[in-house]
Chains A and B, each alone.
Chain A
Amino acid sequence: MSLNRLRFSGVRRRFGRLAVLDGAAGEVAGGEALLVTGRNGSGKSTLLRCLAGLVAPNAGTIELEEDGRRLGAAERRLRVGMVAPDLAFYEPLTVAENLAFFAKLRRVGPHRATELLARVGLPPDRLAGALSSGMRQRLRWVWALLHRPRLLLLDEPFQNLDAAGEAAVRSLLDDHLADGRGLAVVANPSSLEVPRVAARLDLGG
């Protein structure tokens, strides 16, 4: 049995009168991916934000275990890796400066960023404000994996990527899941080919 596991049940979230999530439930263990599907507005992004701890659910439980230890909401928020369309970086800073800043916050050394940048083919000295949409997406992947998270939350993870970019991030996702410790929740994949999918959650809509 894996020591890394995400389990959530009865997750509800309302924005005013609008019920976006109505009792979502799922489970994923180390080395596996949970695929979340549904129409636009069905609550996929909201579910991922609840799992990350960015949005508090109105009801339900979310449990993340890392190496057999259950994390509280505040710790979970600082431990997850996330790729999401609304994730932005400091435009006056270069790619390397952005990553160096977050590496200090994440308490990781500079070599990890260098290694990941080489894998996705991103120029470190380019200003974040001068990146194309595809390059921004590559930067989101590097940022998400910087601290070697166990749980990776991926919202539209392949959007704006060209063939080479998609191959590079798929290889990162493969590696994340391959050692059996990393787990992923993937929403809105533009391509349905996600490796090691153990379960699917259809939010309908």
Chain B
Amino acid sequence: MWRRASTWAAEAAAVFAKDWRCELRTRYALNTLALFAFTTMVVVSVSLGPLGTSADLGVSVLPVLLWLILLFAAAAGLPRAFVEEEETHTATALRLAATPSALYCGKLAYGVTLILALELLVAPVYAAMVTLSIHSPGLFVAALAAGGFGIAAGSTLVAAIISQAQGRSTLFSVLAFPVLLPPLLLVVELTRNAVAGHPAGVALSQLLLYDGAITIFGLMLFPLIWNP
């Protein structure tokens, strides 16, 4: 049992390491995500003007804008996780070699770390550009981690579903909307609480519940999607 779990973990780690090695050599997703995030941050900053927003308006609007930037930047890069395997015909070799659940976990870990790297880059720059003062930095970091995980997990699942379909881009937008809307609403609420210095409330526990549920759902569904 233990031996089986360790070989499964080694498989997932191999997929994770392979995806990052390919990414660091091509920089496709990193460049796409960073450029998209930078462009939208500049647009937001310029639109708000040099005076920024009032404190009340800042608490309600700035967290929404932050998560919109993160969501659309992630949407530009995360669906590639499985789509690229199909487009470059490496999916056949993967189907014949990888245990589906280990493959899914490796891809999920890659998506989560990719979005966390994006958040690490975007959040401080955004806070500085729009002069966002955060009263509960710990809760803010928790919101970024839990929200980032939820978006990555939801996107990875949708990417797996659409990877073998025609018209993938349209399908991603259609399917991602109901999957990513709940964590987005929760993480915006959580970020508002962090900015205003309020307690986390039920949003954090609901977001963590979503993260756990979407991960388990993905692990159960993926072998059925991946194999004929």
Chain B residues, Cβ within 8 Å of A52 = 96
Chain B residues, Cβ within 8 Å of A54 = 92, 95-96, 228
From A55, A77, A82, A90, give the contact of B22 (CB < 8 A): A90
Q: Interface residue tally of chain B, by bracket?
A: 20 to 34
Q: Does B14 contact A (CB under 8 A)?
A: yes
Chain A, 1-24, contact with B by CB distance < 8 Å: what is the 0/1 string?
Answer: 000000000000000000000000
CB distance from B82 to the nearest CB of A (A): 14
Nearest A-chain residue to B88, judged by Cβ: A88
CB distance from B76 to the nearest CB of A (A): 20
Chain B, 67-94, contact with A by CB distance < 8 Å: what is the 0/1 string?
Answer: 0000000000000000000001110110
Q: Does A131 contact B (CB under 8 A)?
A: no
Q: Interface residue tally of chain A, by bracket?
A: 20 to 34
Q: Tell whether, in the assembled complex, residue B93 and residue A87 are in contact, meaning their CB atoms are under 8 Å apart.
A: yes
A56–B226 alpha-carbon span in the complex (Å)? 12
A82–B17 alpha-carbon span in the complex (Å)? 24
Q: Which of B1-25 contact A (CB under 8 A)?
A: 7, 10-11, 14-15, 17-18, 21-22, 25
CB distance from A57 to the nearest CB of B (A): 9
Q: Does A74 contact B (CB under 8 A)?
A: yes
Q: Tell whether, in the assembled complex, residue B93 and residue A88 are in contact, meaning their CB atoms are under 8 Å apart.
A: yes
Q: Which are the 7 A-B pairs with shortest beta-carbon distances? A: A88-B89, A104-B14, A92-B25, A56-B228, A105-B97, A92-B22, A101-B18
Interface residues of B (CB under 8 A from A): 7, 10-11, 14-15, 17-18, 21-22, 25-26, 88-90, 92-93, 95-99, 227-228
